[in-house]
């Protein structure tokens, strides 16, 4: 009897904790809608960027830090010209061909390289601020200060979308300043530049406009040797090694050991995401609109940064893009710390 009572009490306590946890979930707007306007020339690809942390901050009236891995649950795309788009028949094969355009969604690569590069940039920013304010009498940092980077230099110079309501009214934005680093390197005064994750540095040393964090990470990080182990070229001719070479096979085996598997299966000099090795964001979802609409599944967006590339057979076609964030414990959103 005591055992049954104890079990019942445990179940009741567990249910109470679950209800309490559910009540603590902070409500948040998790749906962000954007208008993607295609090129005025049909079937010409256009590029558009989204900063989820910025937009969630504005629409939820609370700082959503960019230094997280935001979980996107799904993305829904609808063409505003669906009746015009339709389908046609390929005259060569007779097959039905979709004319609804194509959309791809890309993010910063999910890798230890990109995360290590981001952390290095973040720590540099923190140290720069700490050194500059070392002698101050109090904390001078703004209440909403945050480390913010661009996905690529293309994002800095390109089109960054704003979330809208069903009347096409954009959210009223607050301050969202991307991080600047300041260095005296190569100058008589100071050199101030922004940061982007992917691609090459922009501007010469001492006059940087923006610095690539993955590029910088690779430039400053020791890596492995190309040849490991470093075996002498004449190892196959060593007399003691050839004592048991009755059929002259040892030489061939040794030669294979010397030449195969002594180099890593990746570039030792170029990190993925720098200027010479996949400098653009990686596609995580790719779809063709069927009858003017498409839905793609979930993915993780490092720093909450997305690039949407789209084409349409209709000039100036507008795609309504609805991004749904997964619910979670970071102010109502699922977003892991980098």
Is 12 a domain residue?
no
Judge whether residue 99 has pLDDT over 80.
Answer: no
- Residues 257, 157: one domain? no
Is 118 a domain residue?
yes
- Residues 82, 165: one domain? yes
Token output for 261 = 């598997």
The model's pTM is: 0.83
> Residue 83 burial by CB count (10 A; 0-12/13-18/19+): exposed, middle or buried?
exposed
- Cα-based torsion angle of the residue sequence 201, 203, 209, 213 in order, rounded to the nearest 10 degrees: 10
- Residues 109, 242: one domain? no
Token output for 42 = 């049909």
Is 23 a domain residue?
no
- Residues 107, 246: one domain? no
> Residue 306 burial by CB count (10 A; 0-12/13-18/19+): exposed, middle or buried?
buried
Q: How far apart are CA 287 and CA 67, in angstroms?
A: 28
Rg, the chain, Cα only: 27
Are 194 and 178 in contact, with CB atoms under 8 Å apart? yes
Are 74 and 296 in contact, with CB atoms under 8 Å apart? yes
Is 171 a domain residue?
yes
- Residues 86, 165: one domain? yes
- Residues 280, 177: one domain? yes
Q: How high is the pLDDT of residue 319?
A: 95
- Residues 175, 201: one domain? yes
Other CB atoms within 10 A of residue 311 CB: 18
Is 4 a domain residue?
no
Is 327 a domain residue?
yes
Q: How many domains does the chain have?
A: 2
Is 85 a domain residue?
yes
- Residues 82, 176: one domain? yes
Is 197 a domain residue?
yes
Going by pLDDT thresholds of 50, 70 and 90, the confidence category of residue 8 is: low
H or E segment at 286? strand 282-288
Strand partners, 102: 288, 311
Mean pLDDT of 277-296: 92
H or E segment at 303? none
Q: How high is the pLDDT of residue 291?
A: 80
Mean pLDDT of 213-221: 90
Domain boundary among 263, 285, 315: 263
Q: How far apart are CA 315 and CA 330, in angstroms?
A: 40
> Which residues fall within 8 angstroms of residue 123, CB to CB, at 6 or more apart?
none
- The boundaries of the domain holding residue 72 are 29-133+143-224+266-337
- Residues 256, 322: one domain? no
- Residues 127, 251: one domain? no
Decide which of 307 and 207 is more confident.
307
In tens, the pLDDT along 316-326 reads 889 999 999 99
Q: How high is the pLDDT of residue 313?
A: 85
- Residues 125, 245: one domain? no
Q: How far apart are CA 160 and CA 163, in angstroms?
A: 10
- Residues 183, 46: one domain? yes
Q: How high is the pLDDT of residue 136?
A: 74
Q: How far apart are CA 88 and CA 173, in angstroms?
A: 42
Are 330 and 37 in contact, with CB atoms under 8 Å apart? no
């Amino acid at each position: 009897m005591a055992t049954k009572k104890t079990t019942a009490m445990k179940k009741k306590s567990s249910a109470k904790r679950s209800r309490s946890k559910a009540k603590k979930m902070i409500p948040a707007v998790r749906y962000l809608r954007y208008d993607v306007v295609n090129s005025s020339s049909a079937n010409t690809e256009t590029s558009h960027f989204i900063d989820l942390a910025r937009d969630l901050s504005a629409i939820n009236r609370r700082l959503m830090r960019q230094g997280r891995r935001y979980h996107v649950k799904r993305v829904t795309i609808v063409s505003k010209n669906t009746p015009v788009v339709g389908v046609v028949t390929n005259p060569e094969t007779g097959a039905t061909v979709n004319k609804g355009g194509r959309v791809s969604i890309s993010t910063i690569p999910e890798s230890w390289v990109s995360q290590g590069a981001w952390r290095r940039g973040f720590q540099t920013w923190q140290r720069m601020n700490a050194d500059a304010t070392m002698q101050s009498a109090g904390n001078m940092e703004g209440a909403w200060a945050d480390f913010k980077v661009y996905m690529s230099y293309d994002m800095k110079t390109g089109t960054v979308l704003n979330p809208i309501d069903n009347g096409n009214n954009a959210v009223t934005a607050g301050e969202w300043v991307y991080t600047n680093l300041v260095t005296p390197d190569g100058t008589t005064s100071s050199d101030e530049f922004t940061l982007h994750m992917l691609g090459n540095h922009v501007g010469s040393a001492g006059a940087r406009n923006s610095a690539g964090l993955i590029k910088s990470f690779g430039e400053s990080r020791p890596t492995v040797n190309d040849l490991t182990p470093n075996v002498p070229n004449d190892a196959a001719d060593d007399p003691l090694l050839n004592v048991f070479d009755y059929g002259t096979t040892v030489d061939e085996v040794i030669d294979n050991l010397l030449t195969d598997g002594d180099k890593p299966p990746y570039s030792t000099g170029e990190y993925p995401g720098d200027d010479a090795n996949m400098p653009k964001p990686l596609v995580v979802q790719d779809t063709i609109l069927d009858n003017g609409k498409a839905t793609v599944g979930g993915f993780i967006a490092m720093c909450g940064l997305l690039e949407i590339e789209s084409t349409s057979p209709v000039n100036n076609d507008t795609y309504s893009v609805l991004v749904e964030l997964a619910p979670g414990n970071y102010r109502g959103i699922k977003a892991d710390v980098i």
